[in-house]
Amino acid sequence: MNLETVKTQLRSLRLSVAARELEELLLQHKNAVSLDWFSDLLTRELDARRQNALTLRFKQAGFPEAATLETFDFHFNPEINEEKIRELATLQFIENNGIVLLLGPCGVGKTHVALALGVAAAHRGYRVYWATHKKLVEHIHFAKAEGTLDQFFKRMLSCRLWVIDDWAAVSMSREIAEEVFDLIDRRKYSTALVLTSNRDVEEWGEVFPNSVLANATIDRLFEQAHITVFKGKSYRLKSRITTRGVDSTSRSS
């Protein structure tokens, strides 16, 4: 076993003293020439720590499920730009604190793709925050009522990626809209954002209490954003449509 490999494993486990002293100890104990078993042991420890960290990131993110692009049927809606979505899946936009807007009607796969990007980010080691627009509003309401809004903001801003599903699904009071604007304004220095919406962009202003907050927030959402518009048939209704066709055929026969 390569001595440097074991040293690297020890440093990965934050055992810097052991890594530094290993070579000298081996010289003192010449009979202990094989490190294979020791390296295997360290590998198991590292794997366990990585899995535990991933499990914790999933729990903290609040993903409703562990979706992936591998389970997404791009052939069902050929109008969806697969190449662009695959490019987003490289997660380079996270490094640039970028914004990804997935827009289009209900059921065409926006949530699945957004989830897949979030899950991929968690696997990459990024902290992620997942919520629907409604749930985000509820989180802010609760934090304000409990006097923990600063802590909530710190937790969100410590995440490298936010995934907000169903944007513009609920109306916001002025108090909440101001906090949402503050979050979106501050995230550009530390956090990337994936946002899905079923509503036309022209309708987004309706969920804000006034045009000033609406325009300011929407302006920041479109600042250097990667925009993907989903078109075509409802991916979500695919199985229901198929089942309905089978049922009607059965009845007619």
For residues 121 and 105, what is the distance between their CA atoms, to the nearest angstrom?
25
The sign one gets for the Cα dihedral 71, 75, 76, 77 is positive
- Report all structural domains of the chain as residue ranges with CATH numbers, in order of start: 3-55 (no CATH), 69-235 (3.40.50.300)
Residues 6+ apart with CB under 8 A from 221: 99, 101, 184, 193, 195
Mean pLDDT of the 54-79 span: 83
Pairing of strands 99-103, 192-197: parallel
Res 243: pLDDT: 36
Between 238 and 42, the higher pLDDT residue:
42
If phi > 0 it is left, if psi is from -120 to 50 it is alpha, else beta; for residue 224 that is left
Count how many Cα atoms sit within 13 Å of the Cα of residue 187 in the half-sphere of its side chain. Answer: 30
**pLDDT band per the 50, 70, 90 thresholds, residue 163:** very high
Mean pLDDT for the chain?
Answer: 84
Structure tokens at 95: 């490094």
**pLDDT band per the 50, 70, 90 thresholds, residue 21:** low
238 to 74, 110, 230, 235: CA distances (angstroms) = 13, 15, 16, 5
Res 103: pLDDT: 94
What percent of the chain is predicted at pLDDT more than 70?
Answer: 82
Helices marked H in the chain: 3-12, 16-28, 36-61, 82-88, 92-95, 110-124, 133-146, 149-157, 174-187, 211-221, 238-252
100 to 46, 82, 120, 211: CA distances (angstroms) = 33, 15, 15, 23
Residue 12 has pLDDT above 90, yes or no: no
Between 55 and 139, the higher pLDDT residue:
139
Q: What is the DSSP letter of 203?
A: G
What pLDDT, in 10s, does the model give residues 83-98? 999 999 999 999 999 9
What pLDDT, in 10s, does the model give residues 185-216? 999 999 999 999 999 999 999 999 999 999 99
In this prediction the pTM is: 0.74
80 closest CA partner among 108, 115, 43: 108
**pLDDT band per the 50, 70, 90 thresholds, residue 248:** very low
Torsion angle, CA of 98/133/185/227, rounded to 10 degrees? 30
Residue 2 contacts residue 38 (beta carbons within 8 Å): no
